[in-house]
Amino acid sequence: MLLLAALAIRATGPYSPGMSLAISPKLEIKLFGGLEVRRDNEIVPLPQSKKTRALLAYLILKGMPQRRDNLCELLWEIPDDPRAALRWSLSKLRQVVNDEGIERLTADRERVAFEPRGAVVDFLRAEEICAAGLAQLSRGALLELSGAFSGPLLAGLELPNQPAYEAWRLGQQEKARRLQIQVIDELLARRDHDAGERTSLLRTLTELDPDSEDSHLHLIAHLAATGHRSDAEAQAEISRRMLADVGGIDEDRLKSALRGTSERLRGARATPASSAAPGTLRQDVRFCTASDGVRIAYATVGSGPPLLKTANWLNHLEFDWESPIWRHLFRAMAQDHTFVRYDSRGNGLSDWSIENLTLNDLVNDLKAVADAAGLDRFPLFAISQGCAVAVEFAVRYPQCVSKLILYGGYARGWRTRTDSDFIAQNEALLTLTRTGWGRDNPAYRQVFTSLFIPGATPEQMDWFNELQRMTTSPENAAKLLSAFGNIDVSDRLCLVTQPTLVLHARNDARVSYGNGRQLAMGIPGARFVTLEGQNHLLLEQEPAWPRFLAEVRAFLAE
């Protein structure tokens, strides 16, 4: 129980180096390895309903009031009576977390919230400690923190029939995985432990990051260097099999590792966990209502002048935030701005049950988000089909938009072009979408993944495959793809009056380079930047990424 007490939540105040980790709270909540609640060190019985337990975990980790209707949609199927189920769940949870004179679970007619008020939660305190900086922790404190990751976050709280909740849960698990890797990396860098402890740390790292060749090679090299030759050879065979599906293993580096040397392994873990860790950035997810009654989810993160991003194919506010496809872009945009983005109607956390899906509807959704976020005048950032939405919005509401940044976009959807082969290809994709989108086998979704990010790593491809499955239904995916085909703002380009930056990858595999040139040529005074690459979505490891970031930051600073 010391570890759980050691990782106390915000109620104890923010963590700072030198602060004692040991705390004796009245109420302790454990989210690693399965939900557990203790009051005065005694286990509190939890409701049998998995959805009720999932509701508690969700409210704790969201850290802000949640609308009742959104919770109903998130956790309960439509045939149920979700509002009654929510009321029942709240009545049970109050008995679990509230104490005499301390009301932690609060609710009114519209919203529900969990406030710690002296309670402790293991994961949130671990987050705070990592954000404060691991380098200043003692070895003992690091080992204690590492031991707190006692099992998968939110284990046993799976809800397979609730896709929006599952996307959130998977995102939280990925966040916890990266934090644990960060802690282990710091321990390994210390080199103040014995061979057995280092072996254990390296094995754990390989389990957490099974697709990392570097993790496998460092474990093999350590086993060989400490005289465990047979273990090193056995691990080499295991690693060969594990890495076979992600491009295999470099045999020259493997031979070096089997000799117990690490000269060829220096610089391993090319993307340290600390660089990918979310730090103190926390997004705030809210909902607004479009003019036709459709509810749109939007998120704000960071501080400073506003920067609003239009929706694109496909989005999920919480799953994207953790994804290796998007996180580098979103965190970069939030460094100097209050970054606002949203899920388009029909996908993500926005309403999936929709009838209208035209360019006009998409523009109205953007207006609803801008109004709800309290934005008066702002630069507008758009990707792919979001560029056409941004152009139309800028023409309709010139007083709202100060600048336009358009990446990988087009003015005319696939149905409005003259290229018959391209139209036929998209018609075929539309047919496949209706029949193959929701299947467990990701082979169909891989078709889209290969078009959008052909240069992705296996991890990035897996994330994008899963993103597409979690983000929307087969019916909505087909609706969206069809609607994008009808877009045509080519005659609106000349009416754009805002300073505009257009960027496009020369060998974009999904939206050809000529589409970017058309946007730039049609918008008066637009600046056009060619990026070298083939990915439709810009990935962190490609050389085009720093060029893109430099161009966008310079443009916004003008």
For residue 195, name the pLDDT band (cuts at 50, 70, 90).
confident
Query: Which range, of 9-13, 70-74, 126-130, averages the lowest pLDDT?
Result: 9-13
Domains (range + CATH), the chain: 2-179 (1.10.10.10), 203-274 (no CATH), 288-413+488-557 (3.40.50.1820)
Contact 338, 358 (CB under 8 A): no
Higher pLDDT, 423 or 306: 306
What one-letter code names the amino acid at 194?
A: D
Whole-number Cα distances in Å, 186 to 137, 212, 263: 10, 17, 20
Residue 527: beta bridge partners? 501
Per-residue pLDDT at 134: 86
Most confidently modeled range among 110-114, 149-153, 499-503: 499-503
Kindly report, residue by residue over 285-338, the tens digit of the pLDDT. 889 999 999 999 999 998 889 999 999 877 888 888 878 888 899 999 998 899
Contact 360, 292 (CB under 8 A): no
**3-class secondary-structure state, position 231:** helix
Contact 507, 437 (CB under 8 A): no
Kindly report, residue by residue over 144-161, the tens digit of the pLDDT. 898 889 899 999 999 988
In sequence order, which residues have a C-beta less than 8 Å from that of residue 462 and are 6 or more positions away?
none
> Cβ-count burial of 242 within 10 angstroms (0-12 exposed, 13-18 middle, 19+ buried)?
middle
Can you tell me the distance from the alpha carbon of 70 to that of 285, in angstroms, rounded to the nearest whole number? 11
- What integer best gives the mean pLDDT of the chain? 84
Contact 539, 455 (CB under 8 A): yes
**Residues in the chain, total:** 558
Can you tell me the distance from the alpha carbon of 399 to that of 339, in angstroms, rounded to the nearest whole number? 19
Question: Given a cut of 80, is residue 421 above it in pLDDT?
Answer: no
Can you tell me the distance from the alpha carbon of 35 to that of 178, in angstroms, rounded to the nearest whole number? 20
Can you tell me the distance from the alpha carbon of 46 to that of 35, in angstroms, rounded to the nearest whole number? 9
Can you tell me the distance from the alpha carbon of 115 to that of 204, in angstroms, rounded to the nearest whole number? 34
Can you tell me the distance from the alpha carbon of 147 to that of 174, in angstroms, rounded to the nearest whole number? 18
Contact 384, 409 (CB under 8 A): yes
If we measure between CA atoms, which residue out of 155, 153, 173, 159 comes closest to residue 73? Answer: 159
Kindly report, residue by residue over 347-394, the tens digit of the pLDDT. 888 888 888 889 999 999 999 999 999 999 999 999 998 999 999 999
Query: Which range, of 307-316, 426-435, 437-446, averages the lowest pLDDT?
Result: 437-446
If we measure between CA atoms, which residue out of 104, 114, 120, 123 comes closest to residue 34? Answer: 123
Token look-up 């600073």 returns 557
Sign of the torsion angle spanned by Cα atoms 174, 175, 178, 183: negative
Question: Given a cut of 60, is residue 438 above it in pLDDT?
Answer: no
Question: Given a cut of 70, is residue 269 above it in pLDDT?
Answer: no
Kindly report, residue by residue over 235-264, the tens digit of the pLDDT. 999 999 998 877 788 888 888 888 876 444
